[in-house]
Chain A
């Protein structure tokens, strides 16, 4: 993008955010639907900013695990919320990148002047996940449904075999490799020599940082209690590297297996949203501008052939974004790298430090280098908070925006989120 065209765009700023505390799968939100959670997060956001009855430019959100009834999920949530029913809405889905992709989408529309305000984010429930019937049963039911005579119907149903009755639960697996995300990541961890200790340290830090943030009231204006949950359910303030070291590996095989339930993100339920607007829209309503949306990039890698790790795409997206913005990896006050697995974060950092990787894969003269680890996920991330897939982007963008606002104008933050399908969504925010 040339200098000229970028200066013609106006700023999109993050006004604030709201999420519900994240629940453990089968936990506090076991009976809550995607729509109920998304609506609660939206109503909390509306109440915080006094927007009841207002028409916003749009609401963009999504869910990775969707029921058939979640058709038009976001629009239905808007209709059930305190926003004006004249607020348009749509669903968007890019696996774990959904939340951040909606932020990019809404921010860009604001920058282009197509809308003045919008809400972006997502929701997911691993508890209330859709269960599909097996292919045999499904075909038989469709046939029976199309039957014209009762006899035809009986015949169609008689074709059902006992084996057809087993339900197909959604699997956390890549359709093209049949491997779970954890198994994919175990390969990457091994490739990059990520140690068990380093992973457990990162996980413990995530819990400790998140617990401190809750204790300090950091989330007082970023989260609203829902269904009696007032903190993230998976948060273990008292965990330690020693305790984490006692867990058995669950992904990978044999001696080299390092990934446990403690350093892998648990399945979770929750919703998170971000309110974005033009500066003028925020000023008119005397609402704060926490951070400016600077730029974003999405990369995808060929993980199917095994050429690259499933969750390594952010390692490609970030350098492209840095180059476009004329920045180095060290130019940031905060780094928010989604903790799909502790080893994902560590492998990404290792890749940027690797001369070979940066030269051979990224085509760079020199490695991006290392980051100041004290600036990484300073208020915890997905290992501690949980990771309701489409909600993670909203959680991270709201958290980072508040951090940048507290740090002061001109401070800079990097968001990096890996996603199923070998994709990576990254963005830069700047404190207002």
Chain B
């Protein structure tokens, strides 16, 4: 069946009739084409210049942002000869505006935020970026400072909803007033991800960057020679995760159930990886993964990243859900992951998770917002978020440099999504700030960012890959 919305949106007449056209998003490791402009709010340098230094580490030299004040406006005359006062415009399109608001402590600073964003939003290119860097509000000190930092959240999320043409807005919170302050190196992988096309479908998100003992420098093939295990790699999002890690140099071990062997072979052979047919609900799944790694890569080899992507749904309203329907989803989507983590975290297990290793889970916005008919699924996906928070706060893991995070995809156009009834699908795809469904690669890129050796300061986080979904949370 033809997609009605697709007909409507590709038809030139429909364009004239004003049907919203989904923008083709900038993807991959591509930076914005226009300049990056930087503004500091609440102090000439922000707080210690961490943001500027971090951009410097990425080899970027930002231009100074324009700030709209009543005294800097210019007069614009329209076709009918009417005049009005407008902010001094940028000479051309800009690619991104980065606001260092780490020193913002008072409500006056919020007026500066407005002043920076007004001309910048006007000049932002398609798939442009708004990145606001602030503090963890609780760490900001006085009530006014906390309120100011919290206000950044409201501003960024709103800007995300107002932006058009594939542009995104995200807030990054760092620690600067604590005893483990975030460094420019800690922040670099996050700024790189948000600026590049890799974050195409991430908007209205709030990410926290802490501090790691050693944050590696961002590279274009960060996983060169590293062993990455992906569960549910035979199709859908998992196939894309496997491909994206392979693109970035990883030795990928793809896992799927033996029944899915044909699909898994195709994915794995395409990327030169290895297939491990395994039902992750087997009680010894973790040790079997480790045994495979030790056998195939040598006794001293260890896993750099494990991605818990395999997942199932068994939807029914809770009033109709029996214990089997409940258990099967919790078993695959949560319990098995807990067991695998525990087994792989044994430092003495050959082929286990390496120091400075990464655990990344594929949760869901359903885990944040709930969804009718998905109580079992929501329980498991919310549980995964709990796992990431708890493990992300575990000092024993921090000592080993291991991070634990999840991504929470929204509407992602997989083959299965294509089978959802047209109306539901079309509505679902439009109900976000980017007015389109995400692609599996968008989820994969977010996972790659979290797994990056340069992302050691990012742990216990939930990265929503949902184009700022308007439903639920």
Name A residues whose Cβ lies closer than 8 Å to a Cβ of B. Answer: 20, 40, 43-44, 46-50, 52-53, 82, 217, 219-221, 223-227, 230, 286-288
Contact = CB atoms under 8 A, between A and B. Distances in A.
Nearest to A288: B295
Nearest to B275: A47
Which of A46, A52, A223, A224 has its CB near the most chain B CB atoms (within 10 A)? A224
Nearest to A54: B272
B376 interface: no
Interface stretch (B13-21, B147-155, B187-195, B257-265): B257-265
A318 to B, nearest CB: 34
B296 interface: yes
A89 B287 CA distance: 37
Given A46-B265, A47-B268, A221-B277, A286 B298 contact: yes
A224 B272 CA distance: 18
Contacts of B296: 50, 286-287
A220 B278 contact: yes
Contacts, number: 79
Interface in B125-172: none
B261 A225 contact: yes
B269 interface: yes
Nearest to B271: A52
B265 A44 contact: yes
Given A47-B275, A220-B258, A225-B260, A52 B270 contact: yes
B297 interface: yes
B contact residues, range: 20 to 34
Interface string B279-311: 100100000000000011110000000000000
Given A44-B275, A47-B264, A82-B265, 7 more contacts: A44-B261, A50-B272, A50-B273, A52-B272, A220-B258, A224-B258, A286-B296
A310 B268 CA distance: 45
A47 B265 contact: yes
Which of B268, B269, B274, B297 has its CB near the most chain A CB atoms (within 10 A)? B269
Given A43-B265, A46-B269, A286-B296, A220 B277 contact: yes
B23 interface: no
Contact of A49 (B266, B274, B282): B274
Given A223-B258, A225-B261, A43 B298 contact: no
A269 to B, nearest CB: 15
Which of B264, B265, B295 has its CB near the most chain A CB atoms (within 10 A)? B265
A40 B262 CA distance: 7
Contact of A226 (B262, B275, B277): B262
B20 to A, nearest CB: 39
27 contacts: A40-B262, A40-B265, A43-B262, A47-B254, A47-B268, A47-B275, A48-B274, A48-B275, A48-B277, A50-B268, A50-B274, A52-B268, A217-B279, A219-B258, A220-B258, A223-B261, A224-B261, A224-B277, A225-B259, A225-B261, A226-B262, A230-B257, A230-B258, A286-B296, A286-B297, A287-B296, A288-B295
A53 B265 CA distance: 13
A312 to B, nearest CB: 37
Contacts of A52: 268-273
A371 to B, nearest CB: 31
B404 to A, nearest CB: 28
A47 B274 contact: yes
Nearest to A82: B269
Nearest to B262: A226
B270 to A, nearest CB: 7
Which of B262, B276, B278 has its CB near the most chain A CB atoms (within 10 A)? B262
A46 B275 CA distance: 9
Given A286-B296, A288-B295, A226 B273 contact: no
Nearest to A286: B296
Contacts of A226: 261-262
A224 B295 contact: no
Contact of A225 (B262, B273, B276): B262
Contacts of A227: 262
Given A221-B277, A225-B259, A47 B298 contact: no
A11 B275 CA distance: 27
Which of A47, A224, A230, A288 has its CB near the most chain B CB atoms (within 10 A)? A47
Contacts of A49: 274
Nearest to B259: A230
B49 to A, nearest CB: 47
Q: What 7 pairs between A and B have smallest CB-CB spacing?
A: A224-B261, A230-B259, A82-B269, A47-B275, A47-B265, A225-B259, A50-B274
A288 B270 CA distance: 23
A374 B272 CA distance: 42
B233 to A, nearest CB: 10
A250 to B, nearest CB: 33
A226 B266 CA distance: 12
A364 to B, nearest CB: 44
A247 to B, nearest CB: 30
Contacts of A288: 295
Nearest to B272: A52
Contacts of B265: 40, 43-44, 46-48, 82, 224
B24 to A, nearest CB: 32
A221 B269 CA distance: 16
Contacts of B278: 220
Contacts of B295: 286, 288
Contacts of B269: 43, 46-47, 52, 82
B23 to A, nearest CB: 36
B268 A224 contact: no
A230 B261 CA distance: 9
Nearest to B263: A225
Nearest to B258: A220
Contacts of B272: 50, 52-53
B153 to A, nearest CB: 46
A50 B261 CA distance: 14
